[in-house]
Amino acid sequence: MRRFIVEAACVLACASGAHAAEVSVAVAANFTAPMQKIAAAFEADTGHKAVLAFGATGAFYAQIRNGAPFQMLLAADDETPARLEKEGLGVAGTRFTYAIGRLVLWSAQPGVVDGKGEVLAKGSFERIAFANPKLAPYGAAAMETMAKMNVLERLRPRFVQGENIAQTYQFVSTGNAALGFVALSQVMVDGAIAKGSAWVVPGAMHEPIRQDAVTLGGGKDNPAAAALAAYLKGEKARAIIRSYGYEL
């Protein structure tokens, strides 16, 4: 009897594994921490596995156009998924907004950034970092913010530009730049700024950072891709997304 139970359990496990699948996902660098948590929960809840790659949305676009085998893209904007869909590289009807990003001016040191961002006008720092605005929507939002505050040209000699938002965060966290524009999700833990000093940039200072996802051609018939898209719309994933400062 015991042998029968063990054999039955093995059959059930194998049957369950047979239905599990993997999906290769290109993820905007600003969404690294929440997506790592979501992927772990997704695998635990569904059996499917999300294989993640993190980087700049613009760089992913170029890679996908050149045949990179990603099956899903979680972009840092809404334009890139729409463009891929229009070009036939994204599956029509699968695009949706999974988060709205927030920009923050941040320093790893306490007392450097004030609560209104007035440090930008005072200019009492040597370097300010932000992501490449041609590749990263958060970089474009940083440029918009500085232009709106009339400090763009004055600060230009102090610019340090990261290839993506992850490298920008590294510049600031290591002190290579005194402060910089990063994603709020990179510095927020459990709903609060984890360390340093920060100014959360009001949404009116730049165009909304709508972050869209789209299933790519290679994921059209992949059950894991469909399951992940549904999971991102579910309450468990949305709670994780909110906890990192994103709006929905």
Label residue 20 by pLDDT band (50, 70, 90). Answer: confident
**Under a CB-based contact definition with an 8 Å cutoff, are residues 174 and 166 in contact?**
no
- 27, 48, 20: which is closest to 40 by C-alpha? 48
What percent of the chain lies above the pLDDT cut of 90? 79
Residue 160 zone, left/alpha/beta (φ > 0; ψ -120 to 50; rest)? beta
Output b/e per residue, 73-84; b: 16+ Cβ within 10 A: bbbbbbebbebb
Label residue 95 by pLDDT band (50, 70, 90). Answer: very high
Label residue 42 by pLDDT band (50, 70, 90). Answer: very high
For residue 202, pLDDT over 90 is answered with yes
**Structural domains of the chain sorted by starting position, each given as residue range(s) with its CATH number in brackets:** 2-100+209-243 (3.40.190.10), 103-200 (3.40.190.10)
pLDDT, tens digit, 9 for 90 and up, residues 105-117: 999 999 999 999 9
- Global pTM exceeds 0.75: yes
pLDDT, tens digit, 9 for 90 and up, residues 123-171: 889 999 999 998 888 999 999 999 999 999 999 999 999 988 989 999 9
